[in-house]
Amino acid sequence: MNSSPQVAQTWFAGRQLQRLTPLIMLGLLAGLCGCGNSSGSFAETVHVTTFAKSSKGKYTQPDSITFNADSVFVGYGNGVSTTGSDGKSSTVVQYTKSGKKVTTFKVKGHNDGLKIDPATGLLWAMQNEDANPNLVIIDVTTGTQTVYTFGVNPCGGGYDDIVFDGGKVFVSCSNPANNPNTGAAIVSVTLAGTTATVTPVLMGNASAVNKVTGKTVTLNLQDPDSMILDPSGVLVLDSQADSELIFITNPDSPGQTVKVLPITFFGTPTQLDDTVFPTSPVGTILVADRDGETVYAIQGSSFPTSGSGFSATGSTVSQLNLATGALSVVVNGLVSSHGMAFIPR
């Protein structure tokens, strides 16, 4: 493992810290009261390795990560404007599951959202999260790309992450124009020709039940960002600057319900980026250290599959208690963690 950045990790077994080797420094531990998984213990040490690195002059700033049965795809932002105003392109790199580069795809604009459509196997790449968004759908077998354009954005900014849920496609509606945010925070997307049409699903000022207090609150989502389906099929949205995760059950249906989880570290509101939920005790968390120009693989054999998630939290990767919103650092010493994916084995 490289000496720079210094990556450190701490898991807890019961209430005892374990110093793991070969590590340079201990990660902080915020939740000695069962902040990790629902059983309150996680005794497995994990192994951190380098999965992939940027290529100077070719592709830099790794961020979004997705995968299919054979490959891993990483979106490299290349320092491109998040509004696409500079006319430059991002690079999507296809790797084998072991981190060997297969090929690259260029997409015009700043790539942020990147997901495989499980129904078709096509790769959806969303560009320009702050304004002027476009969607590129890539056939990863032939390399064929189709570019889709959007109409007026119902939040005033751009689009960010993508989630496939059955026959529906949801997209986070980022960089809202108003505070309070009375526009959409999540939209559904339908395609016709080369046009992407959106319909609001969750408003930025929706009512939600606070998961910690049980009280009903009015949201003001100023930074809708990453999204994922949790193992039970609940749509989870990260409102990054608001230090909140939003949980939407039965999205885009008459039975839609919304809960909000404030995110804290030692009681202080804390921003996070991607969150993943292990679906198997054995697997790998891939995390993009954007400004460290590296994608790391965090491998383990007893990941908790309920009660917690794992989140990109700046210079760290942290375990997240889904009941309290408290974070406990697992891996530290990164420069700027962003995109994540959990690959079961």
- pLDDT of 22 reads 24
- pLDDT of 322 reads 98
Report the C-alpha gap between 68 and 62 in whole angstroms.
18
- 82 contacts: CB under 8 Å, gap ≥ 6: 110, 112, 128, 129, 130, 131, 158
Q: Average pLDDT, whole number, for the chain?
A: 89
Closest CA to 286 of 19, 83, 93, 81: 93
CA angle 163, 168, 174 (to 5 degrees): 45
Closest CA to 322 of 252, 232, 261: 261
Residue-wise pLDDT tens digits, 49-89: 999 999 999 999 999 999 999 999 999 999 999 999 999 99
Residue-wise pLDDT tens digits, 230-265: 999 999 999 999 999 999 999 999 999 999 999 999
Tokens in use for 11? 């898991």
Tokens in use for 332? 């530290």
Report the C-alpha gap between 153 and 176 in whole angstroms.
9
Tokens in use for 300? 């383990």
Residue-wise pLDDT tens digits, 101-127: 999 999 999 999 999 999 999 999 999
Q: Evaluate if residue 302 carries a pLDDT over 70.
A: yes
What end-to-end distance do the CA atoms of the chain give, in Å?
22
Tokens in use for 76? 């490299």
